[in-house]
Every structure is written in structure tokens, then in C-alpha cells.
Chains A and B, each alone.
Chain A
């Protein structure tokens, strides 16, 4: 058992026995799949097929857009029948012909080849957040990583997908862990499992003795931890296994750790060893309304409705379907929604099982939420500020460190949906940030335009003056007709020097920003530099204009 503890936490009923009795099965092939373009963190993928195209299972149908994004592959063979802004729909031919990539040996292949393969396979974290794996595997370019944590805690009630994955594919999961440890340079692998999964632990222990003899790239340790929600939270698990704390607003990589879900590791190995893109995943189908609960290999894009019908659902009893666990999951508003790469569990619940919440009562300031918060926040304060939409205070109280685990809502005697408040507040603040950034961007473009107009005007005037001077020198009788007032040369020179200094300053700021973050684009800073350059040109034109005028005056 682990010696370290994370703060807070709760002990909800586990209800895992409903889905962990049956062995892992494969769900029937869906007739139609709906593949969302945004199943991952970051930008949505861009479709690269047309309506009517024939695709095989594993054909790339949408390419990643930008750095943080992931490829999407056809999960059945058939024909593309519809492409919208958000989904690609494929009608299956029932044959399931595959288009796989050539197999690679991860021990001997080049690092870049392996990263490319993870990228090509559309691999993302299957634990829930869906962060592209190929980026995570490159994190050691900026951070030194020493430990890879296999997050098999699976602390949410109901869900048993990782448990079953480990029971059936323990060797593959550990090999996948070795693969990713090699990519990120970790020398140590720790598998964290809650003590409520004896079969998975047994499978892992049997393997560990074998692995220790074979001199692996990274040493492997198994740590069995007490079952307490939310020990599967990344930060909580790292604290528990390694006694390291992820800084506020930081990532595990900042303290030399990477976390991966067993499903992701299995998929990574399959992508490399077998050349299989991510087109299927293990999903826990559970809840009292399901007649055959258990874990199934499900093709990505299968509609929830079809899936539930295939495994048998009692429509009379069915009250709601929750995606994810009961603590952090969201109820579906429509059963037409597809299973995505991050869907780990579907709970088809009866009304008795997950009854509607009672009416919310006022906060009685009991402080129960504060004692269970694993992030050591002040849920009660956050609640007041969230209701008052006091965004400054919310940020000062570290709203963005909330992991939305739902422990506070679970213990609240007044049935206040605290996490919902936090979620919507987070979204509101994010919107505000986007709006502010947009306004800033528009402002810079406006200023650039103003500067350009001024420069054009000044240059025009200078040209006119030059022409005038030429005409005058040609016809010598024009003496004394000079009426243009000679501008103050000295102040114009000062203006020109100031403009030059502004250009240099803008260049410096841009260079510094580019050195700090070469991946990012610095559009606004570039616009600011261009504005400064326009101002300089305008000042130079004005100066030239004034010089010409003064020379003209002196000449006759």
C-alpha cells in the first residue's frame, strides 16, 4: 500500500460488479458510423474524403488541423454518405475490409518513425481528456521525464473498462508502456491500481516476475492503492504514488511525470506493432436497464442507440443514459450520439438507480465540501462567487485548479449542483478571454490601418512637393511664389528618431516572444511591428517633404 495520501476524497458505492463479471466481448459491427471531427482536445480535424468515396476500416477520413489535433479514421468499410461541419457519416458494407499500416518493431524503429506512427494512427488519451498522444510522447523535448505512470486506478463507480483491458491484455499494456517510456525517456514505470481489481492485479503480478527477468528498458513497479474517489485523477494519483505535487496551472511533465491510461497504451502498441489506427475501444455498458452488462470492443462512431439495442436494453425501465461515470459523466440528450474515442462507459440507468436530484436548498455553510475537495480548494467560496459571476474572485480562488470530480456535490447536504456552477463559470471565463484576445487583435489591425493611411498621405504629400520643386527649378521665374510653410525640421527629426526607436522596440519584443515560444504564432506582435514601421515611413516621408520645402525656400 502507498504511504502517501492526497487530501479529501469520498467513498461512493462502487457498483462495478455489474459489468466486471462477464469477459470482454466484441460488439456487432455497426451498419452506419457517425465520426465526429472533434473527439480530442484541440482543433477539429479537417475532412479529407468526399461524399461517395469508398473507404476501408482504417482509411484516413479527416486529417489533423494544426499541432494540437488528431486524425480520424473510418471505423468500418463502406461508403461516405454525408460530411457536415462536425461529423462524417459512413454507410457500412458489412465486409469490414481493413487498410492497415505496415507493422513496426518499437524496439528498433527510429524515434521519429514511432512518433509519426502515433500521429498517423489518430491516437489520443482514452481516459477522457483525449489529448493527442504523439504530442505527449514528445514532451521530453521541453521537460525531463523520469517516470511513466500507468493510471489504472479507475476510481469512478460503474466503470470497468481499464480493469477488463488489464485482465485480457496485461502484457500488451505493459509493452505499450515500455514503448511510450522509450519515447519520452522515462526510466521507471509505475502501475497504479486500486485494490478493488484483484484479477487485474493478479495478471499484472504474474507478468512482473517475467518482465523483471527479461531486462526491460524501464523498470516496472506495481503499486496497489486504497479505493478512494478520485484517486484516478492525474494529480491525485501522482501525489499518492510518488508524493510529488503538480503545481497549480502546471502539468505532470513539470515534475517529471507522464500519466497514461491502460487503454491508450494498448492502442499505442497496436498502432505500432500491428499497424492498426484507433478505430475501436473498450466501452463499459452497464446500468440496471441493460440486460447483458459488460465490456465490449466497440467501433468508434457506433450510435449509442444501436449499441444499446444490440446488447439488450429494457426500454420501459430506461430513464437516462449517462456517458462516462456517474460522478463526472454527462447524460445524453439524444441517443443518436455516437461512441467517440473518449467514451469509456455508457450507463443505461433506471429511475430508481439514478433518481432525479431533489430541489436545491440554500447553502448552510457546513463545510463538508471543503473537507472532501481533493484539490484543496474552497468549494463554498467558489459557489458564492460563481453565482455572483465574480470572475476575478473565482480566478483568485483558483477555479481553474478544480478537476470537476464532483466530490463536493456528492456530499452537499443542500443538494447544490456545485460542479455545474464551476463548469459554467469556467466556460464563461474562457469565453471572456477569447473575446478579450479578439478585441486586442482587432485593435492592432485598426491601428495598423490608421498608420498605413497616415503614411500614404505623407508620402503623397512628399511626392507632390518633390514634383513642385522640379517644376520650380525648371521655370526660374517662380521665385517668391513659395507659400508652403516650412515645417519645424527639428521636431520632425525627433519624431523620426522616436519612430525608429518604436520599431526597434517592437522588433525586440517580437524576437523575445519568438524565442520563448517558437511554436506559437505571434500575429499581434507582428502587426504591432508593421504599425511601427508604417509610422517610421510616414515620419521619414514628412521629414523629406519638409527638407525639400526648406531647400526650395533657401535656393532662390
Chain B
């Protein structure tokens, strides 16, 4: 032991460290109370990956409740409209193993169509629509706003006269997809020049 050892030094060091601990602890505690996030940010992130069809095929009333359920540990493979792409994105973000889709994948993008001549104006479909995409009034015929419809199917079952069809969605001309043919025109010009 050197003669520079003193109890005062030890005590002051302990005192300073304790003081620092208490100060920063209090600061952190206050900060966490003051800047508390309103909701779990992970739920937001999960919700952003879901397709927002609000169809309820996962067993929850909408995409956000399902996002919350996933955050609580529910399986990530319950979203048929999202399909494999959503499962992979979720698995990637949450670090879970991707699992095959529970249920049947949606074959194509659809939109609800009401055969207006047969509609009796019961408003049942309006109440079922999760995104307010059906307009109409009691005893007046209803119709679907095509651009707002997410193709969730929820209006089909409540209809008492079965006048709602799910039809493939029309693609606007601007959303063309390139034709990939065997002929490769861009190349063909160059060869032989």
C-alpha cells in the first residue's frame, strides 16, 4: 500500500460516482416520461408493411390490430392479400423465420361491383366496408367507389340479395408492364452493325 492511499479519496470517488448515477438516472427518468412515444414504434413499422386491405382474413378487425397482434407474438403468415412478399418483409424486419402462407393467396387484384338493378338499398354493405368505399342511402341503390375499394370481400357476405361481385380490377393505361419477349429488339439493332 502506498502512502498516498486515503479513505477520503475512496469516499469522494464513491460519492462522485453515486452522485453522477443519481443525476443521470433522474435525467433519463424524466426524459423517458417527458418524451414518451405515444405508441409502440414497432407496431407502426409492422403496420406499414401490411397491405392495408382491412379485410380481416387474419382474424383481426383490420391491419393495425393484426400489427399489434404480431408485435405480441402472433404468427406473421396470416395475411393472404399481402402474400409471400409481406411474409418475407415481416420475417426480415422481425428476425423471425418465414412460414408458408396460412390460407389461400389472392389470385389477382379485385374490386367490388354492385349490380345496381338488383340492389334493395339495405345499407348492410355500407356498414361492412372498412374504408367507406360504398355510398348510398337506405332504400336507395348503393355503389362502390372503385378507386377507394381495397378488394377485401367484406361486403359480399352481408348482402341479402347477393348482388355484389368481386371483379378483377381494371389497370390504367399508364401502369403498363414491359413485354419481355424472346425477340430482343434493343440488341438486335446492334449486332451486325
Q: B-contacting residues of A (Cβ < 8 Å)? A: 12-13, 37-38, 43-44, 85-86, 157, 320, 322, 326-331, 333, 352-358, 406, 409-410, 415, 417, 419-420, 423-424, 427, 430-431, 434-435, 438-443, 445-450
Interface pair A38/B173, CB less than 8 Å apart: yes
Contacts of B35-69 to chain A: CB distance below 8 A: 47, 50-54, 62-64
Interface pair A415/B187, CB less than 8 Å apart: yes
Residue B177 lies at the interface, judged by CB distance under 8 Å to chain A: yes
Residue B10 lies at the interface, judged by CB distance under 8 Å to chain A: no
Query: Which listed residue (B53, B174, B177, B190) contacts A43, Cβ 8 A?
Result: B174
With A356-B183, A415-B187, A446-B130 as known contacts, state yes or no: A424 contacts B178, CB within 8 Å: yes
Interface pair A331/B183, CB less than 8 Å apart: yes
Instruction: Tell me the bound Cα distance from A409 to B191 in angstroms.
Output: 10
Interface pair B63/A446, CB less than 8 Å apart: yes
Instruction: Tell me the bound Cα distance from A95 to B174 in angstroms.
Output: 35
Instruction: Tell me the bound Cα distance from A417 to B178 in angstroms.
Output: 13
Interface pair B178/A409, CB less than 8 Å apart: no
Residues of A within 8 A of B179 (CB): 333
16 contacts between A and B (CB under 8 A): A38-B173, A320-B188, A322-B189, A331-B185, A333-B181, A354-B192, A409-B186, A409-B190, A417-B187, A431-B175, A435-B51, A441-B148, A442-B150, A445-B132, A446-B64, A449-B132
Residues of B within 8 A of A327 (CB): 186, 189
Nearest Cβ on chain A to B167's Cβ, whole angstroms: 15
Nearest Cβ on chain A to B182's Cβ, whole angstroms: 8
Interface pair A443/B189, CB less than 8 Å apart: no
With A417-B184, A439-B52, A443-B52 as known contacts, state yes or no: A448 contacts B132, CB within 8 Å: yes
Residues of A within 8 A of B192 (CB): 352-355
Residue B180 lies at the interface, judged by CB distance under 8 Å to chain A: yes
With A38-B173, A358-B191 as known contacts, state yes or no: A446 contacts B184, CB within 8 Å: no
Q: Considering the complex, give the chain A residue whose CB is closest to the CB of B129.
A: A449
With A13-B193, A420-B178, A442-B131 as known contacts, state yes or no: A357 contacts B184, CB within 8 Å: yes
Residues of B within 8 A of A12 (CB): 190, 193
Instruction: Tell me the bound Cα distance from A356 to B184 in angstroms.
Output: 7
Instruction: Tell me the bound Cα distance from A331 to B189 in angstroms.
Output: 11
Q: A-contacting residues of B (Cβ < 8 Å)? A: 47, 50-54, 62-64, 130-133, 148, 150, 170, 172-181, 183-193
Interface pair A330/B191, CB less than 8 Å apart: no
Nearest Cβ on chain A to B190's Cβ, whole angstroms: 5
Interface pair A320/B132, CB less than 8 Å apart: no
Residues of A within 8 A of B130 (CB): 446, 449
Q: Considering the complex, give the chain B residue whose CB is closest to the CB of A415.
A: B187
Nearest Cβ on chain B to A342's Cβ, whole angstroms: 14
With A355-B191, A420-B178 as known contacts, state yes or no: A449 contacts B131, CB within 8 Å: yes
Interface pair A329/B131, CB less than 8 Å apart: no
Nearest Cβ on chain B to A330's Cβ, whole angstroms: 6
Query: Which listed residue (A320, A353, A358, A442) contacts B53, Cβ 8 A?
Result: A442
Residues of B within 8 A of A448 (CB): 132
Interface pair A443/B47, CB less than 8 Å apart: yes
Interface pair B180/A420, CB less than 8 Å apart: yes
Residues of B within 8 A of A43 (CB): 174
Residues of A within 8 A of B176 (CB): 427
Instruction: Tell me the bound Cα distance from A430 to B171 in angstroms.
Output: 14
Q: Considering the complex, give the chain B residue whose CB is closest to the CB of A498.
A: B38
Query: Which listed residue (A329, A440, A450) contacts B185, Cβ 8 A?
Result: A329
Query: Which listed residue (A44, A320, A358, A442) contacts B54, Cβ 8 A?
Result: A442
Query: Which listed residue (B64, B173, B187, B188) contacts A86, Cβ 8 A?
Result: B173
Instruction: Tell me the bound Cα distance from A355 to B193 in angstroms.
Output: 10
Instruction: Tell me the bound Cα distance from A331 to B188 in angstroms.
Output: 10
Instruction: Tell me the bound Cα distance from A38 to B172 in angstroms.
Output: 11
Interface pair A354/B180, CB less than 8 Å apart: no
Interface pair B184/A420, CB less than 8 Å apart: yes
With A443-B63, A449-B132 as known contacts, state yes or no: A330 contacts B177, CB within 8 Å: no
Instruction: Tell me the bound Cα distance from A199 to B187 in angstroms.
Output: 31
Instruction: Tell me the bound Cα distance from A439 to B172 in angstroms.
Output: 17
Residues of B within 8 A of A410 (CB): 190
Instruction: Tell me the bound Cα distance from A447 to B173 in angstroms.
Output: 31
Instruction: Tell me the bound Cα distance from A39 to B119 in angstroms.
Output: 39
Residues of B within 8 A of A440 (CB): 52
Q: Considering the complex, give the chain A residue whose CB is closest to the CB of B150.
A: A442
